Amino acid sequence: MLNVIDLRGRTPSTSELRRALPRGGTDVNAVLPTVAPIVDAVRDRGAAAALEYGQQFDAVTPASVRVPAEVIQGAVDTLDPEVRTALEEAIARVRSVHAEQKPASHTTTLADGATVTEVFLPIDRVGLYVPGGKAVYPSSVIMNVVPAQEAGCTSLVVASPPQADHDGWPHPTILAACALLGVDEVWAVGGAQAVALLAYGDDEAGLDPVDIVTGPGNIFVTAAKRLVQGVVGIDAEAGPSEIAILADATADPVYLAYDLISQAEHDDLAASVLITDSPELAETVDREIDARYTVTRNADRVAGALSGRQSGIVLVDDLEQGIATADAYAAEHLEIHTDNAREVAERIRHAGAIFVGAYSPVPLGDYAAGSNHVLPTSGTARFSAGLSTHTFLRPVNLIEYDRVALKEIGRHVIALADAEDLPAHGESIRARFESMPTDDASREA
């Protein structure tokens, strides 16, 4: 079922690897002309425009953008107890990990009376997008909300698409997750119009704009995030989900087959890639996939993803080439199924998250490992990080010098200001230690 790319017998360069590896085509630029009018309309007309687009695209209009408190509470009251317990455990684990991510303030003393202190300030108001198309994602509520809370953000709004099957409100499990996390502001709006409404708000409707928009979504959501960037911050431009597995002959082919299938279940455009130096393992995994994927409820979606150009098996000469190939691919999720898996994992430079060994599969990270599942896709893990507590913090320097310390460094500041032909910069320093001439004084002279 999976396409095979054979890299054995040669040492491709990094650029050759990037061209050779399976990768889907998601051209955000192609949908910008479609999305820009939506963003503009919501900017100009606020919630009314957002609701109109919701009716046009999803054939549903909620009674209000903001979900009433009693609807959110009702979702908790009717939540399956087993699901509630699972959500609470996932919240606890994710909170434990993200609480420890918050950096401590620190002060650097450069001389007597000369200090620079770095503090970390939370973003004031955050907009957290939770998709609701082909699946229900209460896990995305957790992954967005918890790091924002641990950063110290006090104003949070979750936006999620209205559902015709649920009286025009977001899915009850989404609302229940919000309630369990203490989020009482939820907007029943999805797609590009949700991102625009988060960015611009609507004063008449009592919907305050946010300072940053985070969370995954389809290509239209991604395009909207690109268009509002600068008005607000964004976390990343997320593409379809992807998994790469680096494996040798010691790996269990059944485990690999199920892990590749599980990510293909997300979307027809999802990518599942196996990198191995064992042709026998590759053949066995492909057979296991073919024998097993049909039993899953989303078999058609899985088949579309696994047979697409974004998925495949990559054969390499040895583990060294496998590591280089994994780094060139820079997967959103990278599993390591090799001998000495932890040692291999620590050699990886480019991945959104690395799952080590046979008992750390990606679905664990999707829900309850404690790590975050909002991760960089499409090779952007080479320069981007996943969602974390850091996403919602801004490092700010507090510069504090006394008179003696400023005088000590002042001559260097003046010299550099003169070198850049910005003499007023130097005069700002000199004015603190000498009487500076005024325009009147220069005319009298």
pLDDT at 439: 76
* Predicted pLDDT at 444: 58
Residue 440, pLDDT score = 67
Judged against a pLDDT cut of 90, whether residue 295 lies above it is answered with no
Tell which phi-psi region holds residue 312, choosing left (phi > 0), alpha (psi between -120 and 50) or beta.
left
Spatial neighbors of 74 by CB under 8 A, at least 6 apart, are 172
Distance CA 334, CA 312 (A): 14
Give the amino acid at 105: S
Nearest to 208 by CA among 276, 156, 266: 156
Chain centroid, CA 146 distance in Å: 13
Residue 282: which H helix or E strand, with range?
Answer: helix 279-292
Q: Which of 34, 52, 33 is nearest to 42 (CA)?
A: 52
Same fold, 4-26+239-370 and 28-236: yes
Tens-place pLDDT, residues 80-138: 999 999 999 999 999 999 999 999 999 999 999 999 999 999 999 999 999 986 678 89
Q: pLDDT confidence of 443, banded at 50, 70, 90? A: low
Contacts of 162 by beta carbon, 8 Å cutoff, 6+ apart: 54, 58, 60, 61, 62, 168, 169, 170, 188, 189, 190
Question: Would you say 121 and 394 are in contact if contact means Cβ atoms under 8 Å apart?
Answer: yes
CATH code, 4-26+239-370: 3.40.50.1980
pLDDT of residue 37: 98
CA–CA gap between residue 168 and residue 176 (Å, rounded): 16
User: From CA 243, how far away is CA 274, in angstroms rounded?
Assistant: 8
Instruction: Return mean pLDDT, the chain.
Output: 95
- Coil, strand or helix at 126: strand
Which backbone phi and psi does 219 adopt, to 5 degrees? -65, -30
* pTM, rounded to two decimals: 0.92
Residues in the chain: 445
Neighbours of 412 (CB within 10 A): 10
Q: Which residues are annotated as a binding site?
A: 129, 193, 218, 241, 263, 266, 333, 366, 420, 425
- The pLDDT value given to residue 438: 86
Query: 445 pLDDT exceeds 70?
Result: no
Domain range summary for the chain, segments of one domain joined by +: 4-26+239-370, 28-236, 402-444
Instruction: Work out the pLDDT band at 237, boundaries 50, 70, 90.
Output: confident
Q: In what order do the strands lie in the sheet with 125-129?
A: 186-188, 155-160, 125-129, 212-214, 233-234
Amino acid occupying residue 404: V
**CATH superfamily, region 28-236:** Nitrogenase molybdenum iron protein domain (3.40.50.1980)
HSE-CB of 84 using CA atoms within 13 angstroms: 11
Pairwise CA distance, residues 113 & 99, whole Å = 33
Cα(129)–Cα(420) distance, integer angstroms: 45
Annotated active-site positions, please? 332-333
pLDDT more than 90, % of the chain: 88
